[in-house]
Amino acid sequence: MNQFFLLLSILLLSFSCSKESKLKFSPPMSLNEQESQAVDQQSVEANTKDFQVPTLKLISQKSRLSILNNDQVTEEIDLKVEDERYLRSKLLDILDGNRPNTLEMSDIFTYSISFKNDELFKIINNIKLEELKNYKVNISTFFFLKNNKTGYYLDLDYRAGIENDLGVYVSSQLENEEEQVDGFSYGEKPVESYKFEVPGIALDFAFDKLTKKSKVIYTVDNFNNGEMSLVDWKSETLEKGSLLILSNTTQEKIFFIPNGKSISTVLEDTHKVSHYKKINFIKLDEKILAGQILALVEPQKIETRGQVEEIFGAQSVDFVFKEGVTKTLMIQPIGLKHSIHKYSEPQKVNYYKNDDYIRSRYCNVSREKIVTHETPLNMKSEVSRIKLRFNGRESFLTEMVKMGHAEVKTNKKSLLIILNSLPGGGTISNVNLSILSQLKEGKLVQSNGECRLFHYVRRGEVEGDFYIHSVQTEKYDSFSPSVDLVKVGIKTKMNLRVIE
């Protein structure tokens, strides 16, 4: 078996390659070089004499979201990406009982990235929260390839997508032409960056998952350098033995265990891993049969998945704040302008004589009504109208920012509030956040306008006593003059996501 050995290192990744070019191999690293890489949190090292792991080293630069409406790109947004260790995350999830004890060879070749909420906040710069469902998104990541060894990957197959319960991802393939590698050199030039894509995901699904700390997943299924494909390497490796993943807080190492040998035979010092948790085996000295993926994992407290509450049309929201746990709120204030609209309206007027209906006519009365329409708001001004109540006290958001308890960012349509702490402390606090409106009192008047109603009383006298001989009058059929007190100005509501 022709074998190849490299450090597995992906600083940042995303998916679906669109730039076609030869991918070169990096040379095997010396032992000193391997030791110098030990602090690299994305590294996966290969161990055991003569055992070599086929790898690909990628250095990510940024991600770009292409927002689509009716298959037309309406906006492109650049995001900074966060390093993730997919393998470490999965192992800790297994220990925590959040996943079944299922490890696969593909896990070693799976990588993930994520985005901070202040980057995802850019998505709702021009789009309302309730309108996210009308859009789709392509997630692209641009990265550099750094490989120097003679030889090329002839093709590369992979799956990509946002982490989901079904584990369903889009399959893609990269094919390369030898002439395309001419003149290629590693460096920070746009023409040298490769684009990987996750295409056509519903934007509301993507936004929801990513704010809940789900990751973008990238799994290399196969590549070929003209000597041996990754698929063949996997098959031959598991026919001859098993793999052990050794995971600690800084890196993962991969060990090969020949069929029938024990883990203790390949680890130099088992005392160093005595506190590690075991996955898929019981004892370090038990004989391991071929075809298995095992793990020794240094325990670590894992970050919980994001808890997200979505609320529409609220003037206030209640939530629980736990000391030491940051609360993030993405708020879209909606301004509804209430104003008085004056207009004329024909009203039916009935003519009566001595209470007997005679005839009708129409005339225009003066009417007023409240009309409401959405009005643009200045997000920086809205920051000063947000108030928080907690632990028997209240404070405006601007004061919280000055005291260092909160951070605020704004864009065209939204506010991002990061609540780090509360004045006065307290382990758990019930918080009410409200947004103040800009309303004042006004009068809503309904009057006669152009209408002049006829009213005539004919009186008579008999022996000094007066009496009503006849009454001729006009009355509105269904209108009555009035004055009502109302609120006018801007009433503000919020659409928001509360994220923990």
277 and 330, same domain (yes or no): no
> Considering 266, 297, 328, which residue would you say is the last residue of a domain?
297
Centroid of chain to Cα 272: 40
Overall average pLDDT of the 77-88 stretch: 90
Distance separating alpha carbons of residues 230 and 221, to the nearest angstrom? 7
pLDDT of residue 138: 93
Question: Are residue 340 and residue 210 in the same domain, yes or no?
Answer: no
Q: Which residue would you say has higher pLDDT here, 225 or 87? A: 87
Q: What is the pLDDT of residue 127?
A: 96
Q: Which residue do the tokens 């209470």 mark?
A: 355
pLDDT digits (tens, 9 = 90+) for 350-364: 999 998 999 999 999
- pLDDT, one tens digit per residue, over 440-454 is 999 999 999 999 999
Whether the predicted pLDDT of 92 surpasses 90: yes
Query: By CB neighbour count within 10 A (0-12 exposed, 13-18 middle, 19+ buried), where does 468 fall?
Result: exposed
In a domain, 70, yes or no: yes
- Domain for residue 159, yes or no? yes
Whether residues 317 and 292 fall in one domain: no
189 or 109: whose pLDDT is higher? Answer: 109
Task: Check pLDDT > 70 for residue 38.
Answer: no
139 C-beta neighbours (distance < 10 Å), count: 26
The answer to whether residue 417 is domain-embedded is yes
Q: Out of 59-68, 200-209, 407-416, pick the least confident.
A: 59-68
Distances (CA, A) of 307 to 283, 319, 320: 38, 12, 12
Among 49-53, 78-82, 108-112, 330-334, the range of highest mean pLDDT: 330-334
The reply to whether 205 and 79 lie within a common domain is: yes
Same domain, 269 and 168: yes
- The Cα 204–Cα 134 span in angstroms is 8
Q: Are residues 409 and 271 located together in one domain of the fold?
A: no
Are 253 and 376 found together in one domain?
no
Give residue 498's pLDDT. 95
- The token pair that represents 491 in the structure block: 């009433």
With respect to residue 320, please indicate whether it lies within any of the assigned structural domains.
Answer: yes
Q: Above 80 in pLDDT, residue 43? A: no
35: left (phi over 0), alpha (psi -120 to 50) or beta: alpha
* Number of compact structural domains in the chain: 2
Residue 483 structure tokens: 């004055």
Judge whether 445 lies within some domain: yes
pLDDT-derived band of residue 271, with 50, 70 and 90 as boundaries?
confident
Q: Is residue 369 part of a domain?
A: yes
**Residue 292 neighbours by CB distance under 10 Å:** 16
Mean pLDDT, residues 20-36:
31
CA distance 287 to 451: 103
User: Do both 252 and 343 map to the same domain?
Assistant: no
Are 69 and 176 in a shared domain? yes
| Residue 161 in domain | yes
The lowest-confidence range among 47-61, 380-394, 440-454 is 47-61
Q: Please tell me whether residues 194 and 331 are part of one structural domain.
A: no
Whether residue 16 is predicted with pLDDT greater than 70 in this model: the reply is no
**29: domain range?**
8-297
Assess contact for 55 and 7: CB atoms under 8 A.
Answer: yes
- Summarize the confidence of residues 153-167 as an average pLDDT: 73
Please give the average per-residue pLDDT across 296-317, as a whole number.
87
Whether residues 193 and 240 fall in one domain: yes
Average pLDDT of the residues in 179-205: 63
365-404 burial by CB neighbour count: b if 16+ within 10 A, else e?
bbbbeeeeeeeebebeebbebbbbebeeeebebeebeeee
How high is the mean pLDDT of the chain?
A: 82
Average pLDDT over residues 240-252: 93
Smallest Cα–Cα separation from 224: which of 176, 147, 152, 148? 152
pLDDT above 50: residue 317: yes
Domain boundary among 297, 319, 336: 297
Which residue blocks in 99-240 are alpha helix, DSSP H? 105-108, 117-120, 203-211, 230-240
**What pLDDT sits at residue 34?**
32
Kindly state whether residue 477 falls inside one of the protein's structural domains: yes
Mean pLDDT over residues 156-177, rounded?
Answer: 72
Q: Is the pLDDT reported for residue 135 higher than 90?
A: yes
pLDDT of residue 189: 43
Residue 234 has pLDDT above 50, yes or no: yes
Last residue of a domain, one of 268, 297, 326: 297
Are residue 352 and residue 400 in the same domain, yes or no?
yes
